Structure 1
Amino acid sequence: MPMTLTQQTAPYAHWDFVHPSSGDRLRIIPERGGLVSGWVCGGQEILYFDQDRYADPSKSIRGGIPVLFPICGNLPGDVLPLDGIDYPLKQHGFARDLPWQLQLLDDQSGVRLSLSSSEATLAAYPFPFRLEMELRPVASELEIATTVHNCGDAAMPFSFGLHPYFNVSDLAQTRLMGLAERCLNHLEMAEAATADQLKRLPQGVDFLCRPAGPVTLIDDVTGLKLELHHQAPLDLSVVWTEPPRRMVCLEPWSGPRQALVSGDRKLVLEPGTHQTLTCRYSVS
């Protein structure tokens, strides 16, 4: 039986986790934003990952499951205004760029990735925090539970999201079901009909929806179905495509863009408290 968590050098440096019963596996790159770069489920690679782009550290990563914290999307002027001070905070926050710590869960059902505040994060976001993200690739599912801890003595506002990239065969033969009828088109920052946006997957879309239940991504070429199961407050969905890449991002967010400025679905943790945000993806 293979070791549950092993360090690998090919096709790039990463840690390989194999679930002891399901045999499903994760590839993890803790030093590059706690990135899960691969998820093999039932023998199929579910995640899209641009390895060539990853090899250039000057470029943002395209692929895997980047972590969005303490904001989702961007702020006006890439600035977080707090108590009369402007803090420089770039799009999607800093968690996806920093080194995380990795450890095996006690029951070996998955891994825990953790990130704590530092001088660098406090310069952009003046709140001591700790993130602990547990990932379990159980049979035909990936369960993700992230606990946000406020380690300071002031109330801490935040948003949290995940930005997973999923392989599809052909954007023109890809469907999404379970989204609300109306959405916010991020490209124009205007309300739009979701059905119209879904017709534009091959041209490129970026929109946010507030779904009533699970959202299903269907690859009509292979018949693969991937379902995102939300749980409040991580229950917004963002859909993003970037042709000609054969991938769809189906992202759970806790709040819309600029939530920390507008207050719309802004999450706030009191000093010394924590909150756990969960979601899961199932494959059939």
Structure 2
Amino acid sequence: MAMTFRQQSAPYAHWEFVHPTSGDRLRVVPERGGLVTEWRCNEREILYLDQERFADPSKSVRGGIPVLFPICGNLPGDRLPLASGDVTLKQHGFARDLPWTIALLDDQSGVQLTLKATSETLAAFPFHFQVGMAIRPLSGALEIVTTIHNQSEAGGEPMPFSFGLHPYFEVSDLGRTRFEGLPSRCLNHLKMAEADTSVQLSRLPEGVDFLTRPAGPVTLVDELAGTSLQLDHQAPMDLTVVWTEPPRAMVCLEPWTGPRQALISGDRKLELAAGQSTTLRCRYVVS
């Protein structure tokens, strides 16, 4: 099978990548936040996408793999204090709302998505950053390797940031969905209070939003379909957020580098001095 990397117009305008060996397919809409909208693996669609909502650019996306940068979650009053003065950052940052560029990886194993600082981002976040995401469909898996550069001039304050992914995964029934690998305690984002993870999981059909600090991989099990999806994430992007929004038949299983308000509290806040870069890795494995 030949590798495919081409623009398509249906069912919406997107770039399509088909792996030459497995036939697994990615659909990507770079101008909508570098959004991977579909990932077909082993002849099965893994991601959830509300196409009707996606067709209205005025509405936030419900589906695919939104990118969270330079913050995960929100800030008090949407304000980030910096040495140069306070700036305004809305929930989850701006990366998911801006156009990215797309290219084929040099080894043709996947696609490269890139977001660079612009005059618009500098007004909200005064750093000359570059975010590059190498997205590779592997055998029964999807690997995402993200490299973040601070390209600001030397001598300025370090660039603080958090990074995360917000992928939506299809499930058959929220009441027949379970998890493996989560710790016993979590942070309930709805109340910003510590909670029992098992209690939160029992409420998946009602809607949950919680963060955990697992010691290893986390697995989402769809009991009706007899399938599972394992998130294998590496430090520092090894926090896990679980989010549901019933009646949507989907679960978000999200790797984050830091909790909400990390850039205020300092809890797992990441910083890059001018000229520095860092690489973040995660992989989703289907079985």
Taking structure 2 as the reference length, the TM-score comes to: 0.98
CA RMSD of aligned residues (A): 0.8
Please state how far the C-alpha of 1:82 moved relative to its aligned partner: 1.1
| Separation in structure 2 between the aligned mates of residue 120 and residue 258 of structure 1, nearest angstrom | 22
Please state how far the C-alpha of 1:185 moved relative to its aligned partner: 0.1
Match of 1:269 among 268, 272, 275: 272
Other-structure match for 1:38: 38
| Separation in structure 2 between the aligned mates of residue 52 and residue 95 of structure 1, nearest angstrom | 22
| Separation in structure 2 between the aligned mates of residue 80 and residue 89 of structure 1, nearest angstrom | 7
- The list of structure 1 runs, each at least 4 consecutive aligned residues, that deviate by more than 3 angstroms after superposition, is none
Map 1:1-284 → 2, pairs under 5 A? 1-83=1-83, 85-152=85-152, 153=154, 154=156, 155-284=158-287
Preserved CA contact (<8 Å) 1:4 1:18: yes
Please state how far the C-alpha of 1:2 moved relative to its aligned partner: 4.5
Q: Provide the secondary structure at the position in 2 that maps to 1:196.
A: helix
| Unaligned residue ranges in structure 1 (runs of 5+) | none
1:187-212 deviations in whole A, cap 9, x for unaligned?
Answer: 00000000000000000000000001
Q: Percent identity?
A: 69
Preserved CA contact (<8 Å) 2:181 2:214: yes
| Separation in structure 2 between the aligned mates of residue 3 and residue 58 of structure 1, nearest angstrom | 34
Q: Provide the secondary structure at the position in 2 that maps to 1:120.
A: helix
| Separation in structure 2 between the aligned mates of residue 45 and residue 269 of structure 1, nearest angstrom | 37
| Separation in structure 2 between the aligned mates of residue 84 and residue 8 of structure 1, nearest angstrom | 44
Q: Provide the secondary structure at the position in 2 that maps to 1:53.
A: helix
Preserved CA contact (<8 Å) 2:104 2:111: yes
Preserved CA contact (<8 Å) 2:148 2:277: yes
Aligned residues: 284
1:150-175 deviations in whole A, cap 9, x for unaligned?
Answer: 00133111100000000000000000
| Separation in structure 2 between the aligned mates of residue 171 and residue 117 of structure 1, nearest angstrom | 39
Preserved CA contact (<8 Å) 2:3 2:19: no
1:35-76 deviations in whole A, cap 9, x for unaligned?
Answer: 000000000000000000011111000000000000000000
Taking structure 1 as the reference length, the TM-score comes to: 0.99
| Unaligned residue ranges in structure 2 (runs of 5+) | none
Q: Provide the secondary structure at the position in 2 that maps to 1:17.
A: strand
| Separation in structure 2 between the aligned mates of residue 195 and residue 35 of structure 1, nearest angstrom | 32
Please state how far the C-alpha of 1:3 moved relative to its aligned partner: 4.6
Amino acid at match of 2:76: P
